[in-house]
Amino acid sequence: MLLPLRMRPASLRGQDHLGVFLLDSFSQARGKIGRAAWLSTPIGLLALLPSVFTLEVFDRVIFRQGYSTLIALLAGVMVALILEWFLRSRRSSSLRDAGAVIDWGISSTLLDKMMNQPLRSLEERPAASWVALFRDVGTVRALMTGPVIQSLFDLPLAVFAVVIVGLVALPVLPVVLGMVCVFAAMAWWWADEVKQGKVAELQQARSLDMFTAEMCRARESVKALAQQEAVTAQWKASYESWLAESYSRGGQMEKSKELSHSLLIASSIAITATGALAVVNQWMSIGGLIAANMLAIKAISPIANLAGSWRQLAQAIEAGRRLNRVLAQTSETSGAGVSLPRPKGEMSMEEVSFRFDEQSEPVFNKVSLKLGAARFYTVVGKNGAGKSTLLKLLTGLYRPDEGQVMIDEYDLQQFSRMETAAWISTLSQNVYFLDGTIADQLRRGSSDVTDEQIVKACKLTGAHAFISRLPKGYATVMREGGRALSAGVRRKIALAQVMLRNPVVLILDEPTNDLDHASELQLIASLRMIAKLRTVIVVTHSAGMVASSDVALAVSGEGDIQEMTPVQALGVYFNRPNAGSSSPAPDGVKQGPHLTVVEPRLASVAAAGGDVR
């Protein structure tokens, strides 16, 4: 239900749980909507004056040659017209303001909601459906400025018109009432989309939009794998189904419009015929007959217009329901309430269980784990075992179904995303940048960083050398997630972004993906040094990284995690049973399981435990 509180039937108040969040935004515009509703009464009355003018002209001016009456009537009707124009423009402007207030209220609440939803809720909805939700806000706002609300506000006019017909042309009143009832019945009959609460055409248009967005995102894969034919066929099928629905609905609407037009003419004929009989029998005047015809149109128009706007109302109701479902979802916690001392960086999991949904097997089943502060951990396991899921639990991005994830003695659940991110910085597998310069990207997570710190972080991750060679250096603009930069450079910049947060715990998901061999060695060396001061946890398929870590956490894929020495992990997961002994070392490993390669010019940074701030 989208109507503001004072416009809703009393029976619905308080029980409309669907509209409760939207009503918050509507209530901010209540004053403006109220003013528009109040203005509708004088507007309705003034709109009837031309009919009364016609009546008087016929009855008093024509038959009695009353020139002075005509001048007085003309003056009166001109004043009324100007006043009506003024009031109508005030009403439109109030409704426009109300629409803007509602739009702003819902859009900003929706944006807050989106930003503060747990990652799992965000993942359950395709990215394109969020874009569609913001478009839904426009649909709800259009309700305020479109024909629906105007027709609703004009409904009192119908009542006034019928009353005046009763006063000036009583014999035709039954015909007018009959026609009003016919139009009201037709309006009810055509309201099937409103009654069903869904607009199939709109739903198909949304699916089509979402598929088009997916297609654009997957353009490189589609081209590379030559999937054009299959994708085109799928898109055309989706488009055809939307077009068929739109065509059939369009046809129905045209039919109803034609019928409504013919019925209006029929009403006029019926009123004229009945009125003519009444005039002949001197039950009413000719002026009364002409005025009754005009008033009948005034009485029927709001009802006919309302019926013509059902579609817009149905779309707004559907959009409102969708918005409300999202707004009603739970957000992440807003914070711990007090500023807690910076933790040392010990991480632990106590009896943690997690599964993606009821139907799937648990990824973790009562797992307990203790990770010491300032140590270097690697996470190993086969594809799909649950390594990334483990990282998301450790960063607080996923909440365990059971058990606790702790940093030092604090349960992560008590912290807001901002609080957790200040201590635990994470670099996910897929790096994506919003539009802006490289410097903007680096400042986005930590606005107070200095240029010197930015350069230091980029040197640490190896991004600086590349950025310095760009014609615009750090002012180079990145678009579409930074596609113009190579994947390796994007990863190095993202890593610098993470380092600038000055975390206690650094969590990286396959950071050596896309890195060349020298960069991988440099990163491993940097991470070893960073781990002198911070806890470093890295999901990796790099033997060199595992060999350089203090402990390997092996995710079995059967719900548990085992702690191993790097040598054991290299044997089990990299088929290198003798790594760390006198046998050939894994790639990137120079001496035993520990890598000691540090670029000389980075030594000072690395020696400070990667402290760039």
Ligand X SMILES: Nc1ncnc2c1ncn2[C@@H]1O[C@H](COP(=O)(O)OP(=O)(O)OP(=O)(O)O)[C@@H](O)[C@H]1O
CB of 454 to ligand X, least distance (A): 30
Our finding on whether 482 is near ligand X (CB under 6 A) is no
CB of 359 to ligand X, least distance (A): 10
Separation of alpha carbons 148 and 439, rounded Å: 49
Work out whether the CA dihedral 581, 585, 590, 596 comes out positive or negative. Answer: negative
Q: List the x/- string, 299-338, binding to ligand X by CB under 6 A.
A: ----------------------------------------
Our finding on whether 339 is near ligand X (CB under 6 A) is no
Separation of alpha carbons 111 and 572, rounded Å: 46
Our finding on whether 384 is near ligand X (CB under 6 A) is yes
DSSP string across 432-462:
---SEEHHHHHHHS-TT--HHHHHHHHHHHT
Bridge-partner residues for 506, per DSSP?
A: 425, 536
Separation of alpha carbons 444 and 586, rounded Å: 37
Nearer of residues 361 and 435 to ligand X, judged by Cβ: 361
Asked whether 509 and 429 are in contact (CB, 8 A), the reply is yes
Strand-by-strand arrangement of the 424-427 sheet: 424-427, 505-509, 535-539, 376-380, 551-555, 561-564
Asked whether 160 and 167 are in contact (CB, 8 A), the reply is no
Asked whether 144 and 98 are in contact (CB, 8 A), the reply is yes
Restricted to residues 343-362, the positions that interact with ligand X (CB under 6 A) are: 356
Our finding on whether 123 is near ligand X (CB under 6 A) is yes
DSSP string across 80-135:
HHHHHHHHHHHHHHHHHHHHHHHHHHHHHHHHHHHHTS-HHHHHTS-HHHHHHHHH
Our finding on whether 383 is near ligand X (CB under 6 A) is yes
Could you tell me which stretch among 291-299, 381-389, 395-403, 498-506 binds ligand X (CB under 6 A)?
Answer: 381-389
Among the listed residues 318, 313, 326, the one whose alpha carbon sits nearest the alpha carbon of residue 136? 318
Nearer of residues 125 and 613 to ligand X, judged by Cβ: 125
SS3 assignment, position 378: strand
Strand-by-strand arrangement of the 410-411 sheet: 364-371, 347-354, 402-407, 410-411
Could you tell me which stretch among 96-104, 306-314, 378-386, 566-574 binds ligand X (CB under 6 A)?
Answer: 378-386
Nearer of residues 104 and 130 to ligand X, judged by Cβ: 130
Instruction: Tell which one of 110, 175, 292, 363 touches ligand X (CB under 6 A).
Output: 363
Nearer of residues 110 and 385 to ligand X, judged by Cβ: 385
CB of 198 to ligand X, least distance (A): 28
Instruction: Tell which one of 118, 171, 275, 381 touches ligand X (CB under 6 A).
Output: 381
| Cα-based angle 351, 354, 358 (whole degrees, multiple of 5) | 130
Instruction: Tell which one of 19, 171, 275, 386 touches ligand X (CB under 6 A).
Output: 386
Could you tell me which stretch among 40-48, 333-341, 379-387, 592-600 binds ligand X (CB under 6 A)?
Answer: 379-387
Could you tell me which stretch among 298-306, 384-392, 410-418, 594-602 binds ligand X (CB under 6 A)?
Answer: 384-392
Our finding on whether 566 is near ligand X (CB under 6 A) is no
Q: Kindly report the length of the chain.
A: 613
CB of 154 to ligand X, least distance (A): 51
Instruction: Tell which one of 25, 40, 51, 389 touches ligand X (CB under 6 A).
Output: 389
Instruction: Tell which one of 29, 47, 73, 385 touches ligand X (CB under 6 A).
Output: 385
Nearer of residues 312 and 389 to ligand X, judged by Cβ: 389
Our finding on whether 367 is near ligand X (CB under 6 A) is no
Q: Take residue 245 and report the two structure tokens written for it.
A: 């629905």
Asked whether 376 and 534 are in contact (CB, 8 A), the reply is no
Bridge-partner residues for 371, per DSSP?
A: 347
CB of 391 to ligand X, least distance (A): 8
Our finding on whether 387 is near ligand X (CB under 6 A) is yes
Instruction: Tell which one of 139, 238, 388, 395 touches ligand X (CB under 6 A).
Output: 388
Our finding on whether 511 is near ligand X (CB under 6 A) is no
Residues lying near ligand X in the complex (CB under 6 A) are found at: 123, 356, 363, 381, 383-389
